[in-house]
Structure 1
Amino acid sequence: MDTPERAGLDPAEVRRLVREVRALTTGERPWAAGAVVVAGRGPVIAVEEAAGWAVRYASYNEEKDAGVELPAGARVPMSVHTPFDLASLTKLFTAVAAVQQLERGTLGIDARVAAYLPDFRGVAEHGITVRQLLTHTSGLRSELPLYDCRSDAARLELLRAEVPVSRPGGGYRYSDLNLLLLQYVLERIAGRRLDVLIRDGITRPLGMTATGFGPCPGAAATEDQRRPWGKAERGMLRGVVHDENAWALGGVAGHAGLFSTARDLAVFCRTLLAGGSYGPARILGPDFVELMTTAPGLGFAVDQPWFMGALAHRGAAGHTGFTGTSLVLDPATDTFLVLLANTVHPRRRDPDNAPRAALATRLARAVRGT
């Protein structure tokens, strides 16, 4: 790690950012059991901090509405090297894999999904396009109960029959199904599984050795997953995907399933800020990176104050994940912020995005000359 001064960041604001991250993991009901933050500007990592616990609770006590804490000696402290279940940050990698196919000419941005998946009759009948999947304008509902199906064949049949609930191309409707269907498109045209496409096309060239689909035994714990708050009876989860549909699909899915560290995600951010290259590796051309990260974005959310804070409104792009993960990259100032937290440990609650936005605002204030 380098210094805030070398990154052109105000060291006082950076110190405040670190204190705020630590505060998020303290108290009886912290925002997260543990967290890791990495932030920087250009090639310089100015902040790399871990706080709290990777594993704090043995289970969740429903009657007391509280986590059952492990004995002090059995807890696992958070480290800057701790992997996290990325949840929906996985979508960004699926989107990059798709845009790589656009660049190669094997995928058409405005092509109908039916051109690649004619057996998916629901999307075929309604003319859903690749662009609509990447921009969440397909009209598909947020998810399907694939976790309740008894076989892979039954899960596939649900997906093939699914029809939009609103007009494709109409308005924005965030849906896991968009990136899940895109996974099937990519696997059909490339003849390889999504995990292989992401490994060979993104993580291996960039040296992101800590990034991949699970299982990941050393990861931060997530949830004591039980009904009625969860959708499956799985107990305390660590190192296996939290998302129930990704779990039902074997852990590799276009919408969730990747594990990674904050340092690896910093490499991902720096690659995109540099126009698709990192050292000798090139995963995308600058025009295609711009296509992904400029409004309305392909896979990326653009200028969203609810989690980007003051970094929004000038072209920042990023995403969040249900387990407590997020990243923001701001081309205007060449800065990035990666925040990984296990906010669902010991159980999920309504998301509170205020800390994400506050930390992004703190980074915006730290940028000298703005």
Structure 2
Amino acid sequence: MRAGKLGVAAMTAVLAFTTAGASAIATPEQHGSGRFDRPWHGFAPARTVLRDGTPADAGLDPAPLRAVEQRIDAWTKPGTSGHPLFSGAVGLYVHDGVVVDRHAVGGALRYADGTGTELPPSEQVPMREDTIFDMASISKLFTSVAAMQLVERHQLDLAAPVAGYLPEFAVHGKGQVTVQQLLTHTSGFDADPSPPLWQGYPDIPSRRAAVLDSPLKFAPGSRYLYSDLNLMTLGFLVEKLTGATLDTVVREKITGPLGMRDTGYNPPAGKLARIAATEFQTTPPRGMVRGQVHDENAWSLGGVSGHAGVFSTARDMAVLGQAILNGGTYAGHRILREDTVRAMLTNHIEGLPEVHGLGFELDEMFYMGGLSSPVTGGHTGYTGTTFVLDPESRSVAILLTNRVHPNRGWGSINDAREAWATALSRSMAVRPRAGRDAWFSDIGNTGTATLTTGPLRPRNDSVRASFSAFVDTETSDTLALEASTDGVAWQPVPLRASGPGAPEGVVNALSGHGHRSWWHVRGEIPANGPVSLRWRYSADKSYTGRGVLVDGIRVTSGGRTILDGEHDPSSLTASGWRPSTR
């Protein structure tokens, strides 16, 4: 809207990232810090280390970050359910190597029992920026990194059967399950050991044997099913090949070199005051769990397992995230090669409906929100932890909660996870395609936004509309152009879009995410008299991503312009849209 133009956004996310190497690293002058619509290609410079700063230091708009902090604060207070969504939280954002925000709220220790009886204020422990959390399934990333280090040293072959390294694994038809299938959850295992290890077996050796003896539920490679058994097995494999316990491997090969001093298994008693409590457990009868791993199966294995057991802080996890964004190195210490990191952030289960990297989950909008893309990696943990890294914007979003304190039945925190990641995406600029501002909508779930013209009078029997669209939302949310002759009944206008990630051919609505590019869109409407147009953005009940922008609206008929949204924005009536300069 108004004068001025910017160039087309760069190539699509996945192709650029997977083909880019060190020589493809761009400079801030080329792309500009804080730009969401000009994604980086390749890894961050290896010399990048975390430095404290402000959103402005990294070219970000602080408003979305402050707004989501208020939402996080509200979620730590009792709601209509009578209890908060979670006891407390620590959040941290990194953008382009700058720690732009840290936020701690609520209680690390708040309750006395599983029903939610609050401790006296003098006995409660508030969250701090350096609170240590049970990371739960985020531990799987550490096991995966350890395994990929063995791949780099040619001690482990991803395509090889697991039974070639662990012969006792071959029972129950598992002889052809590969190492890669463990990493991608396509082995065919059921979700969990049955019966639970702590319940069905008397000691650690028998529990380890039970994992390796577990049968398959599906044929290997036939489908994706997330299973703790995969990473339990992989942890045993790492131990077999290194001759060391998994906690030793992680300490010596990952957390030690990276300087992650508060990260590891079975934290020492001296750090208990900084550890967030998890659940009050009656089965097994553990009482209020604090300082020991929450996951019962990991606990029954002595607190060290390939699927759970790691404790960490937001700052330490940010270091791991930056190391991955740097291509496997941090502060002069390399833990992985660049090609290994690239492989871990690439989908390896093509042909299945889901996507999954080597250890890393990919493109999961339910917690990656507006940072989602084909190369956005991360993981969540059952205790309420979330770790997202976005190579295209060189960003890390971490939200750590103790949502199971005091009771795992208090509900899902996925709304908070998504909101935290999306706020960082919305703090980054999407420069208008035409002029100094564009129409922007972030209506939220189940919302509808309309941008409507008055009656237009065609000069012949057709009207042509052209505009630019930036669509970064869930694929089931849509942006449509509609036409009406009476302002009551509206019909979709067939559209043709061009640009990286644009849908092919003629479509009735636009959707998609992860491409981070402006599209040029055209539509033609038969008209025998006055016709009104409206741009309608509709969101379903879940996930909305970064949002939708429309710019450069022009409507012509008979070779003449009958509406120019840039020069006359007042000719459009906006509901749920607002002008945005970034």
TM bucket normalised to smaller = over 0.9
User: Structure 1 residues 123 and 186, CA, compared in 2 at 3 Å: closer, same or farther?
Assistant: farther
Whole-angstrom CA distance in 1 between matches of 2:263 and 2:205: 29
Residue aligned with 2:56, SS = coil
Residue aligned with 2:198, SS = helix
With the length of structure 2 as denominator, give the TM-score of the two structures.
Answer: 0.61
> Given the alignment, which residue of 59, 73, 98 partners 1:8?
59
Q: Within 5 A, what are the aligned runs for 1:160-199?
A: 160-199=212-251
Partner of 2:122: 73
RCO greater where, 1 or 2, for CA within 8 Å and sep 6 or more? Answer: 1
> Given the alignment, which residue of 348, 353, 362 partners 2:423?
362
Q: CA deviation at 1:125?
A: 3.8
Whole-angstrom CA distance in 2 between matches of 1:160 and 1:79: 40
Mean CA deviation greater in 46-55 or 358-367: 358-367
1:303 aligns with 2:363: yes
Whole-angstrom CA distance in 1 between matches of 2:204 and 2:276: 29
1:55 aligns with 2:109: yes
Whole-angstrom CA distance in 2 between matches of 1:153 and 1:3: 50
Contact 1:317 1:329 in 2 (8 A): yes
Q: CA deviation at 1:135?
A: 0.1
Mean CA deviation greater in 113-122 or 68-77: 113-122
Partner of 2:49: none
Q: CA deviation at 1:123?
A: 6.5
Partner of 2:378: 318
Bigger Rg over Cα: 2
Whole-angstrom CA distance in 2 between matches of 1:178 and 1:204: 25
Contact 1:54 1:82 in 2 (8 A): yes
User: Structure 1 residues 123 and 308, CA, compared in 2 at 3 Å: closer, same or farther?
Assistant: farther
Whole-angstrom CA distance in 2 between matches of 1:271 and 1:315: 16
Partner of 2:482: none
Residue aligned with 2:128, SS = coil
Contact 2:204 2:302 in 1 (8 A): no
| CA-based RMSD | 1.3
Partner of 1:147: 198
Contact 1:17 1:363 in 2 (8 A): no
**Greater helix fraction, Structure 1 or Structure 2:** 1
1:234 aligns with 2:286: yes
Q: CA deviation at 1:20?
A: 2.1
- Post-superposition CA distance 1:162-211 (Å, at most 9, x none): 12110111111000000000011111111111001100111010000000
- Post-superposition CA distance 1:284-322 (Å, at most 9, x none): 111101111122301111001111112113421100000
With the length of structure 1 as denominator, give the TM-score of the two structures.
Answer: 0.95
Partner of 2:187: 138
Structure 2: which amino acid aligns with 1:55?
L
Which structure 2 residue ranges, 5 or more long, are not aligned? Answer: 1-51, 348-355, 431-515, 517-582
1:33 aligns with 2:87: yes
Contact 1:7 1:40 in 2 (8 A): no
Structure 1: which amino acid aligns with 2:198?
Y
User: Structure 1 residues 123 and 205, CA, compared in 2 at 3 Å: closer, same or farther?
Assistant: farther
Structure 1: which amino acid aligns with 2:300?
A
- Post-superposition CA distance 1:28-66 (Å, at most 9, x none): 5111101000101121000111000000001123xxxxx
Partner of 1:19: 70
User: Structure 1 residues 240 and 86, CA, compared in 2 at 3 Å: closer, same or farther?
Assistant: same
Partner of 1:122: 171
Whole-angstrom CA distance in 2 between matches of 1:202 and 1:157: 27
Contact 1:183 1:253 in 2 (8 A): yes
Mean CA deviation greater in 166-175 or 211-220: 211-220
User: Structure 1 residues 8 and 122, CA, compared in 2 at 3 Å: closer, same or farther?
Assistant: farther
Whole-angstrom CA distance in 2 between matches of 1:121 and 1:155: 17
Contact 2:190 2:225 in 1 (8 A): yes
Which structure 1 residue ranges, 5 or more long, are not aligned? Answer: 62-66
> Given the alignment, which residue of 303, 327, 333 partners 2:387?
327
Whole-angstrom CA distance in 2 between matches of 1:160 and 1:12: 50
Structure 2: which amino acid aligns with 1:16?
A
Structure 2: which amino acid aligns with 1:193?
T
Q: CA deviation at 1:104?
A: 1.1
Structure 2: which amino acid aligns with 1:15?
R
Q: CA deviation at 1:363?
A: 1.0
Contact 1:112 1:124 in 2 (8 A): no
Structure 1: which amino acid aligns with 2:280?
D
Partner of 1:347: 407
Partner of 2:484: none
Whole-angstrom CA distance in 1 between matches of 2:72 and 2:337: 34
- Post-superposition CA distance 1:114-133 (Å, at most 9, x none): 01000223376441100000
Mean CA deviation greater in 208-217 or 251-260: 208-217
Partner of 1:64: none
